[in-house]
Structure 1
C-alpha cells in the first residue's frame, strides 16, 4: 500500500474517533441540558399548567435520535384551581400518556448555530389521551389578554421547528364532560394519525396553505358506538377518515337508531313522540373549513353527500300527545335558530329510502307510506346573514318513487329572511295505481281502494306560518273505494261503499260530464300541526276538490236520502256513517302525517 493511502486512512480514522468521542461527550453532557430545555418549553407554552414526566431519555447526538420512554404529560390540579380563581382556566384539560416517543434525525449543528430544529420524523407509540371538559362561562367572552401562539412559546429557545412527519399509532381517546358534579364519558380506540410537514416559525401560522402549522393531517378512526344521554338512542359508524389537505371528511355505515324496539320505545316514553331510525352507507363532507370548525364550532363546507340508506319514522297513536303550537318551526326557520354558523353550498342526497309508519289508536294496526330511492339536492343551506343578504333562498329539488310505484318530483324554495316563514313548493306525480296507498289507508282508516288509475298529479303552492294557497290538479279514472268491517275480515260494507262511489266521489277527473276539476287551495293552518302535516292538509284540500268532494255534495247526499220516508228509514244510519267516515277520512292527516319529533 502506498504511503499516501496510509495517511488518508489514518486521518479518516482520527476524524471518526474524534467525532465518536465528541458525540459520546455531548450525549452525556447535553442530556441534562436537553431535559431542562424540554421542561422549560412545556412550562412556558402551557402557563405552568402541565408537567412532563418520563422513565428514560436516550440521546444519540451522532445519529440525531432521541427516545423518551413511558412519558406522561399531565395537568397540575393546584395550578388549574388557581387559574379558575382568576377566571383563566381553559374548558379543556388533557392527560396524555405514551409508551415511547422517538425522534429521528434531528440536526444538532443547526440547533447550535442557527437555533433551528429540523427533524425527519417523530413516532408516538400507543398514545392514551384523556380530554376532560368543564364549562366556564367566562370563556364565552373575548379575553383582554391575548393568547400565546405556539411560536411565541418556543421562540426564546428556537427560531423555528420543522418536522417532516409525525406518526401516531393505536391512539386511545377518552372524552369526559363534567357538569353539575356528574361525568359523562365516551371513548374510542385504535386511531391512526399522520401529520405531514410541520413548520413553526413567525410566518407559518398565517400561511393559508397550512392547517395549524401543518401541510396535512390524516386521521382514521375505526368502528365507534356511543349510547346517547337519555338511554333511547345510539350512534355508530364503521370508519371515519379525515384529510385536512383535501379538506374532506368521510363516514361509512353511519347509524342513528333506537336501542330498543318500537313497542318498548313508546312504552318507555309513555307518549306519542316520533321514533327515528337512520342509516347512511356514506356521509361525506368536501372542502370543509377545519379551522372554523375547531376554533368556533362552525360548519362551513362546499358539499355534503348522503348516499345509500334509509330514514324511518314511526308514531303510535295509542299513546297521548301533548298539543303545542308549531308556528315558526318550519325546517328553514329551525336552521335560522341554530346558534353556530352553518354555511353549506350544496347537499346531495342519493338513493335514500324514506318510510313513515304509524300505529292506529283505533284499529291497532300499523300503516306505512314510503318514498323510495329518494335522490336530489339542496342549495344555499345556511344561516349566515351576510350570505343570505345576497341570496335569501334555500332550495330543494327531490325525486322519489312513492310506494315504490309512482315517480314523484318535488321542488321547495324557502325565503330565509321572511318574517312569516314564506315558502313555495311544486311537484308532479307520474302514473301509478291508486291501490298502492292501501298500505296506509287500510290499517289506519279501515278503508281500501278497490281500483283506480292515477294518471298524473301536479301542484303549485305557496305558504307561510298561517296558511297555504295554490293550484292542485289530479287526473285519474276508475276510482272505487271499499269500506271495510271492523272485525279484521276485510269484508266490504257494500251499501256504504256503493253510496260513496255513486254519490260522493267522482270516479274520474275529468268526470262523467267531461268537467275537469281543479283544486283551488286556500288552507288555514292549524297551529298545532307540524310543517309537514300542514303540507299534507293543504294537498288534501286539493285532492278533495278535484275528486268532487265538497260540502255541497255531502249535503246533496243528505237531501237525496230524505226524499222519501222509507228511504230515510232505510238509509239514515248508512248516511250518517258515510258522513262520519268522510269527516274522518278528510282529517286523516291526524293519522297519517309525521308528528313532533
Structure 2
C-alpha cells in the first residue's frame, strides 16, 4: 500500500512538473520565434500580401487560459514583390496588448479569437485602386489567399487611429481619418465581411469619437469634411459638430472646367444630430435606418454659369425618383432642418458687370419619412413643410406633397410670401432681365399648384401696390435716355398692371401653366410654375394663352 502511495505521489509530481513545464517550454519557443510567428499571422491575409512586418519589442506569455501578447513598434511596409495594381499599406502601431489568444482556434478553425485588445497610436498610409474595383477580384485568386474565417474579440480599445488613403492611379488623397478612438465589445469580423462590399463588421456595442474625416470626390475637385463625430450604439446616437462640402476651385474656374453646364456647390458650418440609428443594420448590411435626423446652421451656396452650354441630354430626377436612384439603401423617418441659409447665384448668358443672386435666411424645414427600401414607408406620400426669409425680409411658408408611388410624379405645391419691397429682388432681376423694379410692395403672395412630371396648373394670387419698372442701359445702369424713359413708362403703365387688387377692389388671380423642361432641375420647374402665375397676374394673360405659348415652345 505504501509502495502505491509513493508511486502516486511521484506521478503527481511528474504531472505537476509537466503541466508547469509545458507552458514554460512553449513560452521559450514562442518568444524565440515571436517575430516569425506573428509576422506570418499578419502577412498570410490577402490585404497584406507582399508586405513585410517588423517589431521593436515583442513578448508572448502562454498559459492554459490563452496567450498574452505585448508588442511595441509594429511596422508593416510593402516589399519589392508588390504588384503594380496591388494595394499597398505603410502601417505603424506603437503598442498592442492582447490577452486570451486561443491557439486551438487559430490552428484548427482558421480563426483568431481573443479576450481583449488594446491598440495605441495606429497610423496607416495606404494606396489603393478606385473603390469600385476593389471587390472585382478574381474568385480563384481569392481562394489561393488565406483570409481568416473569423476574427473575434470580447473587448477592443483603439486609441488614436489615423489613416491616409491615396488613389493608386492619380496619387491624390482620397480619404483621411484623424484621431479615431473607439471601444468595441463582442467584435467579430468574418470572411463574408471581406467579400461583401456592404458589410463592415459586427459588434455587440461600440462607441467612440473622431476628430475629422475628409473624403475627396469629383476627380478630387471637392471634399466632404466631417469634424467632431461622436457615435454610440448603446443609445443609438450619432452627432457631428461640423460638416461641410468644400469645392477646391472657385466658382468660375470650376464651372469652366466642363464642356457642359454643371453647378458649383459649397456647403459649410452644418451641425448634425442623429437619434435612433440602427447600427447593426448599417455595419452588417450597409443599410441606413434612422428615426430622426436634425441638421442645424447649414450654409449652402449654389452657382450656375449660364455662359456654359446646357446638357440637353441631362434628365434630373424628380422627388419621387430621387430615392430610387440612390444606391445606398436608406430609411429616414423624420428630417428636421433648423436655421439654414441658401444663396442661389447665376452668371447670365450675356456678359454683365455682376452676377445675379437671391438668398434665403432663417431656413427651417421638416420632411416626412424618406425611404428607398421595399415596404419601408408607412405612407406613400412625401410631405415637406418649410419657412424662410427671402432676402432676409419676406416671410415664405411652403408646403409640398409628392405621391411617391405615382409613375406620373403628381405633386401639390402651395405656399405664401409675406410683405416685402419688390426692389429687394433686383439683385436677381437686373442682371438677368436688364430691368429694375423701381418701386412696388408685395402685400402678400399665395400660390396653389398641382403638377406632375410633364406639366402643372394652378393659381397665383399676388397683392401688390405701386409696381413700376425701369429699363437699364447696355451697362446695366440707370440713365436719362429719353427712349428708355418712354419704354419704362409704357411697360409700367400700359403693359403691366401697376397694382392688384385694382382701386375698385377687383382682385386679379393669375392662372398657372408651365411644361417641365426635362433637362432642368425640379427647383427650376417649381419656379417656372410660380413665375407663370406671377406673369399672368401682371400681364393679364389667361390660361389658354399660357398653354398656347408653352405649346409653341415644345
TM over 0.5: yes
- Deviation per CA, 1:134-157: give whole Å up to 9, x if none: 72666799xxx9x9997x647xxx
CA distance in 2, matches of 1:106, 1:524: 69
Tell me if the contact between 2:172 and 2:220 (Cα under 8 Å) persists in the aligned partners. no
Tell me if the contact between 2:292 and 2:333 (Cα under 8 Å) persists in the aligned partners. yes
With over 3 angstroms needed to count, the CA separation of the structure-2 counterparts of 1:263 and 1:37, relative to structure 1, is closer
Tell me if the contact between 1:328 and 1:420 (Cα under 8 Å) persists in the aligned partners. no
Tell me if the contact between 1:192 and 1:221 (Cα under 8 Å) persists in the aligned partners. yes
**1:516-535 matches, cutoff 5 A:** 516-535=507-526
CA distance in 1, matches of 2:177, 2:87: 20
CA distance in 2, matches of 1:279, 1:469: 36
User: Is structure 2 residue 508 aligned with structure 1 residue 508?
Assistant: no
* Counterpart pick for 1:168 among 145, 158, 173: 158
User: Is structure 2 residue 533 aligned with structure 1 residue 538?
Assistant: no
Cα deviation for residue 173 of structure 1 reads 1.6
CA distance in 1, matches of 2:236, 2:492: 60
CA distance in 1, matches of 2:248, 2:460: 42
With over 3 angstroms needed to count, the CA separation of the structure-2 counterparts of 1:395 and 1:131, relative to structure 1, is farther
User: Is structure 2 residue 92 aligned with structure 1 residue 71?
Assistant: no
With over 3 angstroms needed to count, the CA separation of the structure-2 counterparts of 1:240 and 1:517, relative to structure 1, is same
Cα deviation for residue 349 of structure 1 reads 0.9
User: Is structure 2 residue 499 aligned with structure 1 residue 499?
Assistant: no
Equivalent residue number for residue 124 of structure 2:
128
CA distance in 2, matches of 1:163, 1:52: 28
Q: Which moved more, 1:440-449 or 1:269-278?
A: 269-278
Cα deviation for residue 133 of structure 1 reads 5.3
* Counterpart pick for 1:345 among 330, 333, 341: 333
Equivalent residue number for residue 370 of structure 1:
359
**1:78-477 matches, cutoff 5 A:** 96-103=91-98, 119=115, 122-128=118-124, 130=126, 132=128, 135=133, 153=150, 163-164=154-155, 166-178=156-168, 185-188=173-176, 190-198=178-186, 214-225=203-214, 227-269=216-258, 271-317=260-306, 319-324=307-312, 329-360=317-348, 361-388=350-377, 390-477=378-465
Equivalent residue number for residue 58 of structure 1:
59
CA distance in 2, matches of 1:322, 1:391: 36
CA distance in 2, matches of 1:550, 1:40: 81
Task: Count the aligned residue pairs.
Answer: 504
Q: Please state which structure has a larger fraction of its residues in helix.
A: 1
Q: Which moved more, 1:291-300 or 1:466-475?
A: 291-300
Tell me if the contact between 2:261 and 2:311 (Cα under 8 Å) persists in the aligned partners. no
Cα deviation for residue 93 of structure 1 reads 8.4
With over 3 angstroms needed to count, the CA separation of the structure-2 counterparts of 1:148 and 1:433, relative to structure 1, is farther
CA distance in 1, matches of 2:146, 2:43: 13
Cα deviation for residue 130 of structure 1 reads 3.7
- Deviation per CA, 1:239-267: give whole Å up to 9, x if none: 33333333333333322232232233334
Cα deviation for residue 311 of structure 1 reads 1.1
Please provide the CA RMSD for this pair. 4.5
CA distance in 2, matches of 1:120, 1:149: 21
Equivalent residue number for residue 474 of structure 2:
486
Equivalent residue number for residue 30 of structure 1:
27
Tell me if the contact between 2:175 and 2:216 (Cα under 8 Å) persists in the aligned partners. no
Cα deviation for residue 121 of structure 1 reads 5.8
Tell me if the contact between 2:240 and 2:273 (Cα under 8 Å) persists in the aligned partners. yes
- Mark the runs of 5 or more structure 2 residues left unpaired by the alignment: 1-15, 104-111, 194-199
CA distance in 2, matches of 1:229, 1:440: 29
Tell me if the contact between 2:117 and 2:153 (Cα under 8 Å) persists in the aligned partners. no
Equivalent residue number for residue 6 of structure 2:
none
- Deviation per CA, 1:76-110: give whole Å up to 9, x if none: 999999xx9xxxxxx988775423212369999xx
With over 3 angstroms needed to count, the CA separation of the structure-2 counterparts of 1:541 and 1:43, relative to structure 1, is closer
Cα deviation for residue 354 of structure 1 reads 0.6
With over 3 angstroms needed to count, the CA separation of the structure-2 counterparts of 1:214 and 1:266, relative to structure 1, is closer
Report the secondary structure of 2:506's partner residue.
coil
Tell me if the contact between 1:172 and 1:187 (Cα under 8 Å) persists in the aligned partners. no
Cα deviation for residue 452 of structure 1 reads 1.6
- Deviation per CA, 1:27-83: give whole Å up to 9, x if none: 5643535869978976998799699955343245799853123335689999999xx
With over 3 angstroms needed to count, the CA separation of the structure-2 counterparts of 1:50 and 1:273, relative to structure 1, is closer
